[in-house]
């Protein structure tokens, strides 16, 4: 009888392990859809003379982040949750020695270890989070940034800055979690707010596109060459967002699942995929309706869909569905006004990256502090609770950790001449001077006549 029970338990463990492995593996192709979406979104939002250049920088940044994250970023996540000293954390899943054992390039967990069924696919999900931060940056800076400068910024953001934020606020040993009760289930702060504020810092040094502002400071609208491509891209981002949110879940059978019987957050607190589904769809709908009511603009309508999800992402595991709708609706209503506020300060954010990701990521954190106070921030007994002040502190940290490196690194690139393309290249079009191909060789270029 005892042997039968042991065999049954072993079989259940193997099944759970397979489910866990498959679950995280599926997040990766779904999250790739985010980057398919960003590719279409940014190419459509660019003028035809810059379409391919906008796409190439997105793809190249994605490729560059992967090896940097393998060699450095994954180690940072496990090394620094308790701060920059790398001391051991309360759950003993952080610190220099732990990070080296599980995430150093020579670790057995960083290769084809047949006994390890989760490290590679969980790593893959985090790499896609890293690439998402770079894609957020990419949209705001289209049509005038140097490829080399952008790649440097994307690597810094994706392989260093965001993962340090994740270590501090998206880890059971993170000091923002253990000391202040910071809660950010869907990475509204550690991905979106970090990337949005990093982008704002870059934009201050990059400057506006030629022709964006008049002498009196008023702004001109610079339309992209394909609104349909942009709208399709935004919808693909939303489709990929389901994989993003799957990657925020700890499922039964995964090596560091606390309960083993129910899904959990990255903090070990209980949640269900069912509740996440209700709230994601309600936030999505609220965002579309709010943005459409405020603007009647198709671009902002679909940005509102994404913004609605981001607005309620931090508390997707906590909200009652009508609350998720309201939070997404309010965030999307405010979003276009934030974009206009930024533009009136002479900042050319080509796709509203700061408004959608930076501002709404911050709103998502604050919404948890307003409406979800008192919820246990961690797994266990007598643990710290989520609070308004904890969320405000977390938002301040995320804003500073994003903005300061973004501004500092882009300032160095600006001083060394590696941030912005020459004015002549910008006027002519980056495709013509930087890309040995044409996006539309037979149309859309006024310099090419039908006879030619």
Please determine, for residue 4, whether its predicted confidence score (pLDDT) is greater than 70: no
Inside any domain, residue 56: yes
Please determine, for residue 452, whether its predicted confidence score (pLDDT) is greater than 80: no
Inside any domain, residue 441: no
In the chain, % of residues over pLDDT 90? 76
In the chain, % of residues over pLDDT 70? 92
How far is it, in rounded angstroms, from Cα 86 to Cα 97? 9
How far is it, in rounded angstroms, from Cα 430 to Cα 421? 9
How far is it, in rounded angstroms, from Cα 362 to Cα 354? 10
CATH number at residue 212: 1.10.3430.10
Confidence of residue 343 (pLDDT cuts 50, 70, 90): very high
Inside any domain, residue 11: no
Tokens 């607005």 correspond to: 311
Tokens of 244: 């993003």
Per-residue pLDDT, 1: 56
Tokens of 174: 């993170």
Please determine, for residue 163, whether its predicted confidence score (pLDDT) is greater than 50: yes
Inside any domain, residue 447: no
Name the maximum alpha-carbon separation found in the chain: 86
How far is it, in rounded angstroms, from Cα 399 to Cα 194? 6
Inside any domain, residue 426: yes
Full residue range of the structural domain in which residue 292 is found: 17-434
Phi-psi region of 86 (alpha: psi -120 to 50; beta: other; left: phi over 0): left
Any residues with CB less than 8 A from the CB of 185 and at least 6 apart, and which? 248, 265, 266, 271, 313, 314, 315, 316, 317, 318
How far is it, in rounded angstroms, from Cα 228 to Cα 299? 9
Q: φ and ψ at 213, to 5 degrees?
A: -120, 145
140, 163, 244, 406 from 126: Cα distances, Å? 23, 9, 9, 21
Inside any domain, residue 257: yes
End-to-end CA distance of the chain: 84
Confidence of residue 380 (pLDDT cuts 50, 70, 90): confident
Confidence of residue 256 (pLDDT cuts 50, 70, 90): very low
Beta-bridge partner residues of 250 = 264
Q: What is the pLDDT of residues 274-290, one digit of tens each?
A: 999 999 999 999 999 99
How far is it, in rounded angstroms, from Cα 210 to Cα 220? 10
Which secondary-structure segment (H or E) carries 56?
helix 51-68
Tokens 């399709």 correspond to: 232
39, 271, 275, 281, 375 from 364: Cα distances, Å? 26, 18, 17, 16, 16
Please determine, for residue 307, whether its predicted confidence score (pLDDT) is greater than 50: yes
Inside any domain, residue 2: no
Which stretches of 197-352 are assigned E, i.e. beta strand?
Answer: none
Per-residue pLDDT, 448: 45
Confidence of residue 86 (pLDDT cuts 50, 70, 90): confident
Q: Report how far Cα 29 is from the mean position of its chain's Cα atoms.
A: 16
Per-residue pLDDT, 3: 62
Q: Report how far Cα 383 is from the mean position of its chain's Cα atoms.
A: 28
- Identify the residue with better confidence: 248 or 150: 150
Inside any domain, residue 439: no
Q: Is the dihedral angle over the CA atoms 92, 17, 124, 40 positive or is it negative?
A: negative
Tokens of 430: 């980056």
What average pLDDT does the segment 378-382 reach? 81
How far is it, in rounded angstroms, from Cα 330 to Cα 429? 38
Mean pLDDT, rounded, of the chain: 90
Q: Report how far Cα 416 is from the mean position of its chain's Cα atoms.
A: 28
Which secondary-structure segment (H or E) carries 283?
helix 273-295
Per-residue pLDDT, 445: 52
Please determine, for residue 373, whether its predicted confidence score (pLDDT) is greater than 60: yes
368 within 8 A of 318, measured Cβ to Cβ? yes
Please determine, for residue 144, whether its predicted confidence score (pLDDT) is greater than 50: yes
Q: How many CB atoms lie within 10 A of CB 1?
A: 5
Q: What is the domain count for the chain?
A: 1
Give the closest residue to 151 by CA, choosing from 63, 233, 52.
63
21, 55, 409 from 413: Cα distances, Å? 41, 22, 6
Per-residue pLDDT, 89: 73
Q: How many CB atoms lie within 10 A of CB 93?
A: 16
How far is it, in rounded angstroms, from Cα 166 to Cα 365? 14
Please determine, for residue 62, whether its predicted confidence score (pLDDT) is greater than 60: yes
């Amino acid at each position: 009888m005892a042997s039968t029970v042991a065999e049954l338990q072993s079989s259940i463990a193997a099944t759970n392990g397979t489910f866990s492995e498959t679950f995280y593996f599926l997040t990766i192709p779904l999250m790739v859809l985010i980057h398919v979406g960003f590719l279409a979104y940014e190419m459509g939002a660019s003028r035809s003379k810059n379409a391919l250049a906008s796409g190439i920088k997105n793809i190249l940044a994605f490729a560059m982040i992967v090896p940097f994250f393998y060699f450095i970023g994954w180690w940072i996540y496990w090394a620094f949750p308790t701060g920059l000293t790398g001391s051991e954390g309360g759950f003993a899943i952080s610190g220099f020695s732990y990070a080296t054992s599980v995430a150093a390039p020579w670790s057995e967990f960083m290769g084809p270890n047949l006994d390890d069924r989760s490290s590679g696919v969980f790593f893959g999900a985090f790499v896609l989070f890293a690439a998402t931060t770079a894609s957020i940056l990419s949209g705001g800076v289209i049509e005038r940034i140097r490829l080399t400068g952008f790649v440097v910024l994307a690597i810094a953001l994706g392989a260093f800055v965001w993962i340090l934020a994740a270590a501090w606020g998206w880890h059971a040993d993170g000091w923002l979690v253990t000391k202040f009760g910071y809660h950010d289930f869907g990475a509204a702060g550690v991905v979106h707010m970090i990337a949005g504020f990093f982008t704002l810092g870059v934009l201050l040094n990059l400057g506006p596109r030629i022709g964006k502002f008049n002498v009196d400071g008023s702004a001109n609208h610079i339309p992209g060459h394909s609104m349909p491509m942009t709208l399709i891209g935004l919808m693909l981002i939303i489709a990929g967002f389901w994989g993003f949110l799957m990657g925020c879940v700890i499922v039964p059978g995964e090596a560091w699942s606390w309960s083993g019987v129910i899904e959990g957050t990255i903090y070990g607190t209980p949640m269900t995929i069912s509740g996440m589904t209700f709230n994601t769809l309600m936030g999505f709908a609220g965002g579309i309706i709010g943005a459409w009511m405020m603007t009647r603009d198709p671009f902002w309508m679909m940005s509102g869909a994404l913004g609605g999800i981001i607005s309620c992402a931090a508390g997707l595991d906590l909200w009652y569905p009508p609350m998720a709708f309201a939070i997404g609706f309010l965030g999307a209503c405010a979003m276009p006004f934030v974009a206009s506020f930024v533009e009136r300060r002479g900042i050319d954010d080509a796709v509203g990256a700061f408004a959608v990701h930076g501002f709404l990521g911050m709103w998502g954190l604050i919404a948890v502090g307003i409406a979800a106070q008192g919820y246990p921030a961690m797994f266990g007994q007598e643990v710290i609770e989520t609070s308004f002040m904890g969320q405000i502190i977390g938002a301040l940290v995320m804003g500073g950790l994003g903005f300061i490196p973004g501004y500092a690194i882009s300032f160095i690139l600006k001083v060394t001449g590696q941030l912005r393309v020459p004015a002549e290249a910008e006027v002519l079009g980056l495709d013509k001077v930087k890309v040995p191909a044409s996006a539309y060789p037979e149309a859309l270029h006024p310099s090419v006549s039908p006879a030619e």
